[in-house]
């Protein structure tokens, strides 16, 4: 009975099937053959196969990475915000997603060092002018009545007592604190996730490579990074100069994120990353390479000291192991990329 219903409805007969010239149509064949006859245990003819069936279109499912199917796949570290899986769209051709970040990394790094060279030239000119202006200012201060208890004067005194490196990183720390406060605004969560977390599965690939360097979701994460940056600021600025330091720091954030992109595409783990750790690893590695015999200590264990060279070797070993073994609490690929760039 089921076969009869199929034959009477003429499934598969349509514009896609055309009978040969002088032949019979599908309906004529069905009417001529009439009811199917059994010869032994087999049907003598199958009209359905003669007329041809159209296959139903296959449903194309989006490619899934090995990070899992639930939003819990992106909640592997307390240092990153709770991100829904729908915020990221892994590409079916993951290697192609690295093309734009690669060009952005090369272009941004070149522009950063080119701008630093121009800034350095202009600073040299201004220093010569400021020398003569300083002589004039000292003479005016000597004849001008001094104000006691002036708050602005106290701020200027504190600022002038800072080293060049500390004055340079003060702006970086202020930018990180400002972005940290933006994370606390609920209406900005979607914007912060899109532009201030970096992932090769995000719709926005290039700008987060720089903006995520100033982004921290955890207060402890930000405090630890800014403390290390403040501690090494004087040494790195004395080595590179203020202008070259800014170029190195900004380029390090982009380069470390690109290394993270490559590792995520290779492993299929597309979780988001944020923080200044990659850029700070560049500062740390540069100082430890230039001053390998310098003595360092851990903030909570100041009684234990070690050389800067040994500290750098230990950090590289830990990050290499974490990248190979797939540890997910830190972005070890970004740390390792930043350290290699600093060296």
By annotation, the residues acting in catalysis are 277, 335
Is residue 273 exposed (0-12), middle (13-18) or buried (19+ Cβ within 10 Å)?
buried
Question: What is the residue whose two structure tokens read 């700008």?
Answer: 207
- Looking at the chain, which runs of residues are DSSP E strands? 38-39, 42-43, 295-298, 301-307
Contact between 242 and 249 (Cβ < 8 Å):
no
Report the SS3 class of residue 100.
Answer: helix
C-alpha to C-alpha distances, 46 to 53, 289, 337, nearest whole angstrom: 12, 81, 66
Is residue 316 exposed (0-12), middle (13-18) or buried (19+ Cβ within 10 Å)?
middle
Exposed e or buried b for every residue in 204-234, given b needs 16+ CB within 10 A? ebbebbbbbbbbbbbeebbebbbebbebbbb
Cα–Cα distance for residue pair 15/7, rounded to 1 Å:
17
Contacts of 76 (CB under 8 A, 6+ apart): 271, 328, 329
168: its two tokens: 């340079």
50: its two tokens: 């003669």
Question: What is the residue whose two structure tokens read 């208890």?
Answer: 149
Contact between 239 and 163 (Cβ < 8 Å):
no
Cα–Cα distance for residue pair 299/223, rounded to 1 Å:
12
Contact between 240 and 286 (Cβ < 8 Å):
yes
Cα–Cα distance for residue pair 173/208, rounded to 1 Å:
18
């Amino acid at each position: 009975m089921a076969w009869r219903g199929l034959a009477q409805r003429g499934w598969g007969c349509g514009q896609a099937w055309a009978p040969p010239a002088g032949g019979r149509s599908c309906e004529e064949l069905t009417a001529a053959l009439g009811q199917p006859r059994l010869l032994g245990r087999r049907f003598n003819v199958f009209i359905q196969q003669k007329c041809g069936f159209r296959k139903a279109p296959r449903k194309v499912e989006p490619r899934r990475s090995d990070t899992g199917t639930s939003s819990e796949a992106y909640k592997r570290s307390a240092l990153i915000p709770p991100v829904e899986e729908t915020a990221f769209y892994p590409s079916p051709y993951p290697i192609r997603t690295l093309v734009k970040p690669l060009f952005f990394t090369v272009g941004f790094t070149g522009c950063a060092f080119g701008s630093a060279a121009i800034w350095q030239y202009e600073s040299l000119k201004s220093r010569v002018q400021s020398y003569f202006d300083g002589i004039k200012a000292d003479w005016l201060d000597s004849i001008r009545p001094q104000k006691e208890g002036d708050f602005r004067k106290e701020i200027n005194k504190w600022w002038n007592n800072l080293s060049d490196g500390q004055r340079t990183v003060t702006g970086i720390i202020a930018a990180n604190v400002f972005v940290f406060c933006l994370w606390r605004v609920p209406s900005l969560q979607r914007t912060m996730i899109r532009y201030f977390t970096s992932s090769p599965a995000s719709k926005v690939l290039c700008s987060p490579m720089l903006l995520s360097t100033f982004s921290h979701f955890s207060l402890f994460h930000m405090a630890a990074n800014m403390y290390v940056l403040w501690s090494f600021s004087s040494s790195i600025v004395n080595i590179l100069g203020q202008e070259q330091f800014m170029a190195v720091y900004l380029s390090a954030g982009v380069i470390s994120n690109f290394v993270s992109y490559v590792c995520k595409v290779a492993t299929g783990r597309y979780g988001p990353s944020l923080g200044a750790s990659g850029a700070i690893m560049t500062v740390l590695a540069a100082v430890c390479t230039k001053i390998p015999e310098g003595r360092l200590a851990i903030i909570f264990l100041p009684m234990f000291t070690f050389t800067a060279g040994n500290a750098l070797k230990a950090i590289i070993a830990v990050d290499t192991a974490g990248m190979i073994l797939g540890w997910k609490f830190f972005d070890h690929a970004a740390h390792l990329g930043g350290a290699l760039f600093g060296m």
